[in-house]
Amino acid sequence: MTLDKNFLGGVIATQQQGNSTRQPQRINTLAPPGIASAIGVTTANTDLPFAFVIGNDGNLWLDFLNGTAWEWTNLGTPGVSISSAVGAITVNQNMPYVFVIGSDGNLWSNSLNDSQWKWSNLGAPSVGIASAVVAITVNEAFPYIFVLGRDGNLWLNSFNGNDWNWNNQGNPGVDIIIPVGAITINNQLDTQVYVTGSDGNLWGNIWNGSAWLWVNNGSPGVKIVRGVGAYAVQDSFPNVFVLGGDGNLWANIWDGVELSWSNLNTPNATIVSSVGVVPVDVWRFSVLVIGSDGSLWSNFGNGQTWTWPNLGSPGINVVSPVGVTSVPVNLPFAFVMGSDGNMWLHSCDADSACSWQNLGGAA
């Protein structure tokens, strides 16, 4: 697989011809024999989106924008069956990584280096892996993968530039129940990973520059039923999103002085699942969810005011998330599964013109 390194402005997608917009086309007919589940999305070289799924054949599949055309690539398996997804990230701006848990109980990575994809066995903590939590890039160069161990503790697998190492992060004194998301702050140096505990509270496992600490962020006064994601405004102010038992989207916001919970309510539909959080500019970001009406909805805010634009659907129902990324910076690309079994992309260009594109993949 060869990437078009000379392509700039990826998707401003869509080459302009007069007043019309032409979407990227597909350069091959290869496609998975149906999509079994999603893994996640990431962006390389600032403008090349990568979407990873598991096919009905059990293989890892990649759909990526290679220059001005979409291309499916079969990345196979690591020699064992893929049991569950962890996530996708990019290291050094140009090296996509995707992480999965194998049927052997180990954490596996598939990464792109010098135009070659390679599977690597990252092992497991001595207690084994119970479930995935999240993957994130620290300081642009270091992958951090968090999992829940069979001992109930949070475990971190990180790369220090030479070796991969497992570290026991412990627990907040209560059982870890639901993964929520992760961010970095302070020039991407300090990592914060969020989970919910059996006490009903949101907890942060936070690196403060010298040590890992567990911090109790409390609860919104209703039961937290699902993690949605997290985003750091201006690299300094964490915003953490969860779905409450009242059906509303809630935000836990640090404004530099104190933590507070904000009820962001719901769109004109019940929130069924979350797609993720993506920046719009340095202050504003969008929380994308799927509604019971089969539409993609955006909770758009700057930490103070929030609105619920309806991004619609591609003519069929949107049923489940794949992930969201920015291509290039601050142009949201949302990947979702449609009721027709295909993966669909909702994207907007620099002029705020938005459209849906069928990326295929149905059996």
CA of 101: how far to CAs of 98, 148, 157, 254, 337, in Å? Answer: 11, 12, 13, 33, 22
Tens-place pLDDT, residues 314-356: 999 999 999 999 887 668 899 999 999 999 999 987 777 899 9
Predicted confidence band of residue 28 (pLDDT cuts 50, 70, 90): low
Predicted confidence band of residue 207 (pLDDT cuts 50, 70, 90): very high
Reported for 16-25, long-range contacts at CB under 8 A and 24+ positions apart, including other chains, are 21/349, 21/353, 21/355, 23/355, 23/357, 24/65, 24/68, 24/69, 24/70, 24/357, 25/68, 25/69, 25/70
Residue 287: Cβ-neighbour burial (10 angstroms; 0-12, 13-18, 19+): buried
Predicted confidence band of residue 30 (pLDDT cuts 50, 70, 90): confident
Of residues 127 and 305, the one with the higher pLDDT is 127
CB-based contact 69:24 (threshold 8 Å): yes
pLDDT number for residue 228: 97
Predicted confidence band of residue 281 (pLDDT cuts 50, 70, 90): confident
pLDDT number for residue 114: 81
What is the percentage of the chain residues whose pLDDT exceeds 90? 73
CB-based contact 224:217 (threshold 8 Å): no
